[in-house]
Amino acid sequence: MRFRKLKQQSKQQHQNNPDIKKVDYVRVVDKIKAFITDMFMIYVPILYILAYVVMGGKDEFQASELAPLVAVSGYGIVYAIFISKSGQTPGKKAYNMKVVDDATHERISFVRAICRYIAFLFSATILLGLFTGFYRKDKKPLHDVLCKTVEIQSDK
């Protein structure tokens, strides 16, 4: 049987089966907007508290080699808590999106959210991982592919 025929049969089965829900994937532009919102609402306060409350000023923060690692790690923990509890960070909630398991569309665990954050750091470092979302139908960047998660439109 030809590929075209198989594809048409598969499409007809999906249309005839009411149990299969259509998933609305999040646009890459909305992901970027949510990320910027999260930076201002979560990461900047962490940096401020670390630099001015804990370390006593920006000069000490800039002189420290450990301070940026502590700030990024603190953001990762807060991010993972938000994702594991509700599937949303404040930025994702503002743009009605959720991070869920790819197969079941259920929330992910704290450990998996931490792994997703570490994979995001890797994706952002090589840049190629972030651009994969532009070329995939499901708009999944590399860290979502590795962790088997997806960002979908939220109902609320």
Q: Please report, in tens digits, the pLDDT of each residue of the chain (156 residues total).
A: 566 776 677 666 656 655 556 778 888 889 999 999 999 999 999 999 999 999 988 899 999 999 999 999 999 999 999 999 999 999 999 999 999 999 898 999 999 999 999 999 999 999 888 888 888 888 889 999 999 999 999 876
Q: Give dist(CA 143, CA 120) in Å, integer.
A: 5
C-alpha pair distances (Å), 37 with each of 80, 89, 121, 137, 154 = 16, 9, 17, 25, 17
Domain-embedded: residue 6:
no
Domain range for 131: 25-153
Domain-embedded: residue 97:
yes
Q: What's the pLDDT score for residue 97?
A: 94
Residues 32/71/144/127 CA torsion (nearest 10 deg): 60
Is 0.85 topped by the overall pTM?
no
Domain-embedded: residue 147:
yes
Q: Would you say 100 and 87 are in contact if contact means Cβ atoms under 8 Å apart?
A: yes
Domain-embedded: residue 8:
no
Domain-embedded: residue 17:
no
Domain-embedded: residue 20:
no
Task: Give Cα 126 distance to the centre of its chain.
Answer: 16
What is the domain count for the chain? 1
Domain-embedded: residue 59:
yes
Q: What's the pLDDT score for residue 99?
A: 94
